[in-house]
Structure 1
Amino acid sequence: MKLNNIKRTLAVVASVAALSFTSCVGDLDTTPIDPNTISGADVFDDPSNYTKALAKLYSGYVVTGQVGPAGDADIGGIDEGASQYIRRYWELQQFPTDETINGWADGNLPKLSYMSWGSNNEFISALYSRIFYQISICNEFIRNTKDTDIVVDGLSTKEMYNEARFLRAYSYWHALDLFGNGIPFTTEADGVGKFLPNPAGKLNGPELFNYISSELRAVEADLSAPAPGAETGRANQAAAWMLLSRLYLNAESYGQPAKYDSALLYTNKVLNSGYALVTNNQGSTYSAYQTLFLADNNTSGSEIIWSHNENGLRSKSYGGSAYLIHASIGGTMDATEFGVNGGWGGNRSMKTLTQTLQYKSVDDRNLVHTDGQKEEINDPTQFTEGYAIAKFRNKTRAGAQGSDPTGDFVDTDFIVFRLAEAYLNYAELAARGVAGASQSQALNYVNALYTRANVPVAEHLKASEVNVEQIIKYERSRELYWEGLRRTDLIRLGQFTGGAYVWQFKGGVKDGASTSSIYNVCPIPSSDLGANPNLVQNPGY
């Protein structure tokens, strides 16, 4: 089985590649107690399983278990559909911010929107488990391939080994960004099921940050070269550079000294690697910008650097892009226009976002549904309060529905990195006065995004507007809204918690209220603290 298209391989991931892994309560790495269950060692005795196991590492961000969409979950303790990695990550990155509100009353879900969560929040716990489940299966793959040197289905085990190390660093970055430096830490060097993991380090310590940085720098040369316009479902060098750019850009948020020079170094590597903005809609009725968020966005051009690939027939789950599309539809919206069979009436925009999107007289990025909706929100449980977002669709550029004829599941890939983010990273670094980052080039990059969005030239960004707040608070929101970046961006700006910047229902108050800085990180779930006495709760929880 070739792995040249992860989107196709999700259907043939071997169950044996995952049966030996559990979620992280106590040990992160465990072997099955049942002697009839196949172990990781058994899996890797057969080299033909290597590519299947690698596909499992990638598909862990998309699918939720061995059956799909439900029936044999990788983690327990929560509805399987709601446990999906990207769904859980996206909600924590978006719900507590000025871009998104959700109207469901499921358990402790409203507390994510109100920034009032605690250590028993089941939705935070589910993401925590997903993150460490991914880390544990990466550890197992790395442990069993590090000393091999063979070619399987056209892929060298060295190449697969380095991709697994990248994926582990990616999930450890999620852990650092969301839970801080005190999370449990294991690598392939640790014995399976023999100990309770120790924390990565002390609060605001450098250990996990340095580990992620060193891992990414160690593997970057051995990942495949950037291939703009080709396969986006597998990580290449440009994906590693984008993650390093994000890591260094946010260093101060992680309690580290500013590392903007390093952020610029890796941002420039991406900018010089051949990727290009999608500026042609290829005859579609959708704008060039919106083709990035359609069912065939994997063929939209050469802007997407890395994505979590989805297929309506082969990677069925109630998370990822399926969730983004269904949960954003309600009221007067016609679900068939979005290529699905119905809406879930959940997620809408805060007026802070819609007013940012509507600031220009014309902007193709203003993908807002207003018919039957009120911009003002008085009751978050009412879908018609708050404008709806129509950014993601399960429609091709030609207007056809995705591959699933039922309309339940979608083909729209969830983008992790795209070139536009590198443009905005550069612009922010220039605004911060980093040596080597030109303000005139920064202006060119932001205005290239305006040009792609058909914003009139007279309304393009001016040189005097190239400042940190403008870039993060407004330009990044106009271009990258609802792509799972907003919480991290607002923390970097210093406006996520506290009272300097409030929006509707921040802190659970209609007009918004100041919130404690403890919410800049999430709590380590109380269940894991009870299972592992080596861990210490984050302050304030």
Structure 2
Amino acid sequence: MKINPIYSLLTFVLGVTFTFQSCTDLDEELFSDITADNFFQTEEEFISALGRAYQSLAGLGNHSGLWSINELASDEIVIATKGGDWFDGGVLLQLHQHEFLPDNPFFQNSWNFLYGGINNCNRLILSFEQLDNPNSAAFIAELRALRVLFYYWAMDAFGNIPLVIDFTATESPTNSSRQDIYNFLQSELAEIIPLLPVAKDGTTYGRMTKWAALMIRMKLYLNAEVYTGTPRWTEAAADAEEIIYNGPFNLEPVYRDNFVINNASSNENILVYPYDKVFAHGFNWVMMTLHIASQFSFNLTEQPWNGYQTVQEFYNSYVDPDQNPGTQGPVWKGLALEQTDGTIDGRLSNFLVGPQYRDDGSRLEDPGVEPLDPTGRNGDPDGPPVTFMPYINEIWPNGLRQSGARIGKYEFERGGTANMSNDFVIFRLGDAILSLAEAKYRLGDTGEALDLVNQIRERAGNLDPFTTLDDEKLLAERGREMYVEMTRRQDLIRFKKYGSAWWPYQGMNRPKRVHSTGSHLELFPIPEPQLLANPNLKQNPGYN
């Protein structure tokens, strides 16, 4: 976590109530005589107000929001029901099996996260526009860029959403089409990109810059055929090239360094949200994925929840099961990280697998291991050791409590709390390089596409370079590189793999395919509470 102007002044702005006009007629009790007119005089004061808008991003790193719906609906992550744990009314199974219901609370949480951020941006944009201050123009552009980020995520997830940019509006909004939202974002980015800062230093860390805005536009173009029906590969390539060849970023020599506890020094990360275990809470992956007993592995102050697991087949895309048969099947007896040809994918740091140990190096035990655990470890005379198995027996009703490789992408702090201090990566150069490779591949330039993909493979470790490229290889390489960075669902849709049947988990009492199919499932439903609160909204097709 890196201290920056937005973060350091955030605590001040949260303690101040400004006399901003809102879209409601609630009477506000004033606790301060600081107003917009007498406060926004210096750059530091502007930045402190910006902190409230950026704080809206804090929900990215916790359970049951936008990150969760994207990851659980993909082939990367699942949360198996483990006896009495994690059924949660079936909402998690719905997400993974593509049986989306509008009353699933995860959709409402995601909607509130997105429109809370949009609302904060709209409020501050209005306040800054009312000032007679030459400093306000640059900050308005920055807020518009942040608003674009929220709208980009909202359009990708929900498609036909309200477009609200006037904080004083009092009428309930209607849906705008996905095409209209796309056009708005494209227009906004064209106007604000020239106005945004280009530096990569302490003054711009964790803030919207030209490069972050270009990443959003690159992704709009990369997915344009999905969003609008018209591909925009040339434009996607142009923005990716601007970031890669003219931006102040370089691939970190070690993949893992982008996600360590103190990852502010990464030369690859383009936009992050700076979490901190004391001052900026909300990054809870250490709780969400680790086994209950893992508290003693990392000497954590709280007990983890034993939830999020990596889908076995996705894990196997790193470790070839044909060369490592021990990584799959109903009997799992160990893990071979090194393949028989000697190649090692350094991105296996994305996972926690194999035997787990206490902080002092002694073996970690799990007295609650199930009698049905197929490894036979429950008969160990010294007690059943904790061993994370890539193998997942079933996702309901009796998933094994030690099954599934756990999310290890971000370094977990020994002696840490439920809140992590790693800065959450939103955009980074590795994504831009693979996006350029895909755009070039779609345009027929397979030579450059191969070179770009092999840059990523070379950085990953002692991997043989690809000599040919096809959709399957490109999608798989994106998956390995971008694991749990909230891109997989989008990638599956773009590569037309999202409607494919998930794998048949052994033991599942489902005679049909494991998840529902249909093109309407490429959008999540508009949350039911929003439809009830606003009769002007219409549900997405296929959910009525």
TM-score range relative to shorter protein: 0.7 to 0.9
Deviation at 1:126, TM superposition (A): 1.0
- On the 8 A contact 1:114/1:508 being kept in 2, the answer is no
SS at match of 1:306: strand
Question: How many percent of aligned residue pairs carry the same amino acid?
Answer: 25
Find the counterpart in structure 2 of residue 78 from structure 1. Answer: none
Q: TM-score, normalised by structure 2?
A: 0.79
My pick for the range that moved more, 440-449 or 506-515, is 506-515
Q: Hey, what does 1:59 align to over in structure 2?
A: 55
RMSD: 3.1
- Seen in structure 2, the aligned counterparts of structure 1 residues 32 and 302 have a Cα distance that, compared at 3 Å, is farther
Residues 65-214 of structure 1 mapped to structure 2, 5 A cutoff: 88-103=65-80, 104-107=86-89, 108-146=91-129, 148=131, 150=133, 156-181=135-160, 183-188=161-166, 191-192=168-169, 194-201=170-177, 204=178, 206-214=179-187
Whichever residue aligns with residue 55 of structure 1, its letter is G
Partner of 1:67: none
For residue 446 of structure 1, what is the aligned residue in structure 2? 453
Matched, 1:343 2:353: no
Partner of 2:256: 290
Which residue identity is paired with 1:446? Answer: V
Cα drift, residue 231 of structure 1:
4.3
Deviation per CA, 1:322-379, whole angstroms, max 9, x where unpaired?
3222212116646654977442211111012111111363011012313323333233
Residue of structure 2 in register with 1:25 after alignment: none
Question: 2:345: which partner in 1?
Answer: 363
Q: Residues 457-468 of structure 1 correspond to what in structure 2 (within 5 A)?
A: 459-462=464-467, 464=468, 466-468=469-471
Three-state SS of the structure 1 residue aligned to 2:425 is: strand
Give the secondary structure class of the aligned counterpart of 1:533.
Answer: coil
Deviation at 1:20, TM superposition (A): 7.2
Compared CA separation, residues 291 and 339, structure 1 to 2 (3 A): farther
1:163 positional shift:
0.9
User: What is the aligned partner in structure 2 of residue 70 from structure 1?
Assistant: none
CA distance in 1, matches of 2:147, 2:114: 9
Determine if the alignment matches structure 1 residue 47 to structure 2 residue 40: yes
Determine which of 482, 491, 496 is the counterpart of 1:489.
Answer: 491
Letter in 2 for 1:529: L
Distance 2:490 2:34 in 1: 38
Give the direction of change, closer, same or farther, for the CA distance of 1:408–1:215 in structure 2 (3 Å limit). Answer: same
Is the 1:245–1:266 Cα contact (8 Å) retained in structure 2? yes
Q: What CA distance in whole angstroms lies between the structure 2 residues aligned with 1:130 and 1:17?
A: 21
- CA deviations on 1:133-190 (whole Å, 9 max, x unpaired) are 1111111111111354637xxxx32221111000111111111101112x122113x6
1:305 aligns with 270
Deviations 1:283-303 (A, max 9, x none): xxxxx211211110111x310
Give how far 1:493 is off.
Answer: 0.9
Q: CA deviation at 1:502?
A: 2.5
Is 1:294–1:393's contact at 8 Å kept on the other side of the alignment?
A: yes
**What letter is aligned with 1:296?**
N
Q: Aligned residue for 2:369?
A: none
| Residue pair 1:328, 1:344 contacting (<8 A) in 2 also | yes
SS at match of 1:314: coil
TM-score (norm 1): 0.80
Q: Is the 8 A contact 2:284 2:418 kept in 1?
A: no
Conserved in 2, the CA contact under 8 Å of 1:32 and 1:39?
no
Contact kept? 1:96, 1:113, Cα under 8 Å: yes
**Structure 1 residues 17, 119: CA separation in 2 closer, same or farther (over 3 Å shift)?**
farther
Provide structure 2 residue ranges, at least 5 long, that are not aligned to the other structure: 81-85, 321-338, 356-386
Q: Report if aligned partners of 2:121, 2:146 keep a CA contact under 8 Å in 1.
A: yes
Q: Please state whether the residue corresponding to 2:24 is helix, strand or coil.
A: coil
Aligned to 1:66: none
2:471 paired with 1:471: no
The residue type equivalent to 1:90 in the other structure is W
Structure 1 residue 44 displacement after superposition? 6.0
Give the Å deviation of 1:10.
Answer: 3.9
**Residues 44 and 304 (structure 1 numbering): CA distance in 2 closer, same or farther, change over 3 Å?**
farther
Give the SS at the match of 1:110.
helix
1:251 equivalent in structure 2: 224
Kindly indicate whether residue 410 of structure 2 is the aligned counterpart of residue 392 of structure 1. yes
Q: Relative to structure 1, is the Cα distance of residues 170 and 39 closer, same or farther in structure 2, using a 3 angstrom cutoff?
A: farther
Distance 1:362 1:314, change over 3 A: same
Shift of 1:114: 2.0
Of the structure 1 ranges 445-454 and 241-250, higher mean CA displacement relative to structure 2 is found in: 445-454
